[in-house]
Amino acid sequence: MLHDSLKDDRTELISRCRSIATPHPHAATAEQLLQGVPLFLNQLVHALRSLQSEYAPCSMRMAARMKQVP
C-alpha cells in the first residue's frame, strides 16, 4: 500500500523534500524544514491508513462479487 511505501522511505523522502525546498528564495525556515516535512508525512500516512480501513470492507465485498460472476 502507498502508506507502507511512505513509511518505509520516510528518511529519503524527508531528505529530498528538504534539498528541493532549501535553494528557493522563499524557502521555509530551518525549523519548518525540520518539523514540517515529517509532520506532513505523518498526517498523510494516517489519512491513507484511515481510508484503507474505511474502504476495506467495501473492496472485500466487491472482490467477492467478482468471484461469483461466471
Higher-pLDDT residue of 66 and 1 is 1
**Assigned C-alpha cell, 53:** 480501513
Determine contact, residues 32/24, Cβ cutoff 8 Å: no
Q: CA 7, CA 25: separation in Å to the nearest integer?
A: 30
Give the pLDDT confidence of 32-42 residue by residue, as tens digits. 878 888 998 99
Higher-pLDDT residue of 51 and 59 is 51
Q: Which of 5, 37, 39, 7 is nearest to 21 (CA)?
A: 37
Q: CA 18, CA 38: separation in Å to the nearest integer?
A: 10
Q: CA 23, CA 20: separation in Å to the nearest integer?
A: 7
How confident is the prediction for the chain on average, in pLDDT? 78
**Assigned C-alpha cell, 54:** 474505511
pTM (two decimals) = 0.60
pLDDT at 67: 63
pLDDT at 69: 53
